[in-house]
Structure formats: C-alpha cells, structure tokens
C-alpha cells in the first residue's frame, strides 16, 4: 500500500505531479474535506488556515490562532490517511511527520525561482513581475518558518527527502515515472514492522488530539508513546485528579488497549505553569 509524502512549493508543479501520480498508481490524495475537518476541530475557518500557511495572515490572526491545535489536528489527519495506505499526501509537513516510517517515500518537487514566477504570473493573468516575486517569497518564508517551528528543520534540506525532482529539467510525466519506480523498490516495501510503526504513530496522534480537545486536559504537555495498542504517558501534571483525567481521556481513544500511567505529580502548586503549554 504505497504512501507518498510530497512537498508543496508554489509554482513547482508539485500539484500536477501529485495528481498525475495518484491517477497513474490508483492512489487517493488528501482532499479539501480533510482540511475542512481540521478547521472545524480547531474552530477556525479554512480560509484562515490557508492564510497562515501562505504567510498572509494578519498580526491579530497570528497572535490569536491556536497554531498548536491546528498542527495537532493536521498531524492526526495525515497519520490517519497514511495508516489507510494507497495515498499521496502533499504539504502540511507530511514529509517530516512520516519520514521515520520506512515504507513512506518522501519527495521534494522544486523549480527555479524564475520559472515559478512565470508560472504564477500566468496563473494569475498578470504581467506584474514584482507582485509575483513578492507572493512567492512570502509563501516560501511561511513554509520555511513553519517547518522550522514545528519540526526544527531547514525547509529544502535535501537530506530530508528520498528524492528531489527539478521540474526545470524534468516533465511532470518523468517525475511521476521516477517516483513510481522508487516506490516499487524493495527499500520501500511495506513490512509488518513498518506497518506497526505507522499504526503506533497514528494512535499517538489520536491520543494527543483527544487530550487537546478535552477541557480538563487541553493544556497538559506530556510525552505519549504507543506500541501495539499499549499507551505510555510520561510527564508532570498538577495533581492526582489531573493525572486520573489524563489517563481516562487516553483510555477512551479508539485503538487504545491499555494505559501505562507514568505521570508524576507536582511537588508544589507554584510550579503549575511549567506543566502547561505556552
């Protein structure tokens, strides 16, 4: 069940490659419905998410939006789609989130800035070069900032990808052929171990999202490790009630078979803030 994670770079033709790849291999793609679910759970509009991703959100929007919630729900959605298999996931940090899974192919599709400017001008029907260049720089900066903030990586670092394709030199069809060939290689064959790893990561994402959604646990910052339905909780909480509530919320998540509650209690309520998200 191929899982292909791709970058999203405005004007790179990555969208064309992903759609043609999905059609060629009979794969699903991450549709707008998934983004709508993320927006609904984070209680924001899909347009706001788009502005945040493209670096177009205003100062008030950036300061008031709970970006951690958006990131958590996005990760949950991505892991759920990847866990089902037979899918192409473009953007949303998919290459970083899924890179640890051996059978996931991580691809960057890129293009020269000049060609991307030409693409955007044609796409918008404008001859304003400065405007197109500014839009691309804003988009690139937003992507780079988000990748660094969420994953601590440098956007575009070739080491993050299994394959880097330059559409200045390669056609969309050639890109599809190269990705298909790599996905069929033994190195990217799904194994029981890689399948279990992805399932564990998907379960961890579901538990994190559930804790964030519950009023009693939404501010708790703990470590969650899942292995074949067994979930271990590690970290510090305020008191015994918070410890119990966290275990209850985790235990109620679909796929959790048991909870190993290793949460420790604060020795003083004055340290309360250190156990909470900032």
Q: What is the pLDDT of residues 2-32, one digit of tens each?
A: 999 999 899 999 999 999 999 999 999 876 6
Is 260 within a domain? yes
Secondary structure (H, E, C), the chain: CCEEEECCCCCCCHHHHHHHHHHHHCCEECCHHHHHHHHHHHCCCHHHHHHHHHCCCCHHHHHHCCHHHHHHHHHHHHHHHHHHCCEEEECCCHHHHHCCCCCEEEEEEECCHHHHHHHHHHHHCCCCHHHHHHHHHHHHHHHHHHHHHHHCCCCCCHHHCCEEEECCCCCHHHHHHHHHHHHCCHHHCCCHHHHHHHHHHHHHHHHHHHHHHCCCCCCECCEEEEECCEEEEEEEECCHHHHHHHHHHHHCCCCCCEEEEEEEECCCHHHHHHHECC
Q: What is the pLDDT of residues 47-58, one digit of tens each?
A: 777 666 666 666
161 and 229 part of one domain = no
Q: What is the pLDDT of residues 131-152, one digit of tens each?
A: 999 999 988 988 888 888 888 8
Q: How large is the average pLDDT for residues 21-44?
A: 82
Per the structure, the complete domain to which residue 173 belongs is given by 3-188
Predicted confidence at residue 183, as pLDDT, reads 96
145 and 244 part of one domain = no
Residue 62 has pLDDT above 70, yes or no: no
Residue 272 has pLDDT above 60, yes or no: no
Q: How large is the average pLDDT for residues 101-122?
A: 96
Predicted confidence at residue 64, as pLDDT, reads 63
Q: What is the pLDDT of residues 216-261, one digit of tens each?
A: 998 899 999 999 999 999 999 999 999 999 999 999 999 999 999 9
61 and 156 part of one domain = yes
Residue 99 has pLDDT above 50, yes or no: yes
32 and 141 part of one domain = yes
Counting the structural domains of the chain, the total is: 2
pLDDT band of residue 101 (cuts 50, 70, 90) is: very high
Predicted confidence at residue 32, as pLDDT, reads 67
We report the CATH number of the domain holding residue 46 as 3.40.50.300
pLDDT band of residue 278 (cuts 50, 70, 90) is: very low
58 and 177 part of one domain = yes
Average pLDDT along the chain: 88
151 and 264 part of one domain = no
């Amino acid at each position: 069940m191929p899982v292909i994670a791709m970058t999203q770079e405005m004007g790179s033709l990555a969208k064309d490659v992903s759609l043609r790849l999905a059609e060629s291999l009979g794969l699903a793609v991450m549709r707008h419905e998934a983004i709508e679910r993320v927006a609904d759970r984070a209680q924001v509009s899909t347009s706001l998410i788009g502005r945040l991703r493209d670096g177009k959100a205003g100062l008030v929007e950036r300061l008031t939006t709970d970006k951690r919630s958006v990131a958590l729900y996005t990760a949950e959605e991505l892991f759920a789609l990847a866990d089902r298999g037979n899918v192409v996931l473009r953007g949303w940090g998919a290459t970083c989130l899924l890179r640890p899974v051996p059978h996931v192919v991580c691809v960057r599709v890129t293009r020269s800035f000049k060609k991307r400017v030409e693409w955007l001008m044609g796409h918008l029907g404008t001859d304003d070069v400065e405007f197109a260049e500014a839009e691309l720089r804003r988009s690139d900066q937003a992507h780079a900032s988000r990748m660094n903030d969420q994953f601590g990586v440098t956007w575009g670092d070739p080491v993050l990808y299994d394959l880097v394709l330059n559409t200045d030199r390669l056609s969309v069809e050639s890109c599809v052929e190269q990705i298909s060939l790599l996905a069929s290689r033994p190195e990217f064959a799904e194994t029981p171990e890689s399948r279990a790893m992805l399932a564990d990561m998907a379960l961890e994402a579901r538990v994190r999202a559930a804790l964030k959604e519950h009023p009693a646990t939404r501010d708790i910052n703990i470590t969650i490790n899942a292995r074949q339905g067994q979930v271990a909780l590690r970290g510090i909480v305020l008191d015994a009630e918070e410890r119990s509530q966290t275990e209850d919320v985790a235990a109620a998540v679909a796929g959790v078979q048991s909870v190993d509650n290793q949460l420790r209690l604060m020795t003083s309520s004055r340290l309360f803030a250190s156990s909470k998200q900032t």
